[in-house]
Structure formats: structure tokens, C-alpha cells
Amino acid sequence: MTTDIIDQRPVPSQVSELLNAWVQKRRLYNFAHYGVGIIGLFASVAAGSGLFSASASIFAFVSTLCIAILAFSNPRKEYGKFARAGRVLYMAVLRYQHRQIELADLLNAVEQGEKIIEKAESDDLPSAHQVRSALGSSRPGKKITTTPLS
């Protein structure tokens, strides 16, 4: 079964804007991951090679800064969550345009994409069980006693 481009149903503007925003964020985080990583790599090589001995400390600082940015902002993880959410929504948009799904299904894909993004963010936070385990208690409500340092 073929569907002409003329027969395509227009996508609601809010859904198109959201998909475009997720695609832009995916691109930004992907560029940040590779761009900052490559700059850090070259700065590290320049600092350690001795070719630019007068600027070695500047290159070392730039390299350290790039590694810190990558470690603390984790752009690769951010890229992943927007890429996964974008793929879900993009496939739903295609199906909606070709009349294979209805608006309710398209909106469900929007919600699913939002959940993918939210889940990735909440995975960064420890669960109550993880906190209790780290503190040495596996039962809720168990009092934790501490002893003062002498």
C-alpha cells in the first residue's frame, strides 16, 4: 500500500515543535560530547607533547576543564534520552501522517517520550531502598545511631 505525500495528514504544531526541540537537544548533547571530548584530547596532547612548552599550562587547564565538563554534565546520557524519546515520537508522527494511528495514539507517544526523558533523570537519584542499604538498614523505620568522633 502506498500513500501519496498529498494524502498525508498534517501533524499538530505542538507535536512538531516538541519533536524538533528533542531533535535539537539530541544534536546539542551529541556535539557537546564529541566536541568537548576532542578539544580535551587535543589540549591534553598539546600539554604533554612539549611542542607548545610556553602554553603547556593553558593546554593542561583546558584539558582538565573539558574532562570536568564531560564528567559532571554527562552529555552522552542526555543525548541518549532525547534520542530514544525522539525516535518514539518520530515513528508515531510518521504513522499519524499516513493515517495508521489516531491523535490519541500520537499523544500517547508524546507521553511515552516524556516518560523516557523523566525516567532517565530519575535514574540519577537513589531510591529509598538504596539509601537505606547505604546507611546499613534494610528495614524502613529502623533507627540509625551514630557515635561521635573522639
pLDDT in tens, 7-29: 789 999 999 999 999 999 999 99
Q: What is the DSSP string of 32-83?
A: HHHHHHHHHHHHHHHHHHSTTGGGHHHHHHHHHHHHHHHHHH-HHHHHHHHH
Give pTM, 2 decimals. Answer: 0.69
- Predicted confidence at residue 8, as pLDDT, reads 87
The pLDDT of 105-117, averaged and rounded, is: 95
**Tell me, what's the pLDDT at 144?**
45
Separation of alpha carbons 78 and 69, rounded Å = 13
pLDDT at 121: 61
Mean predicted confidence (pLDDT) in 48-60? 86
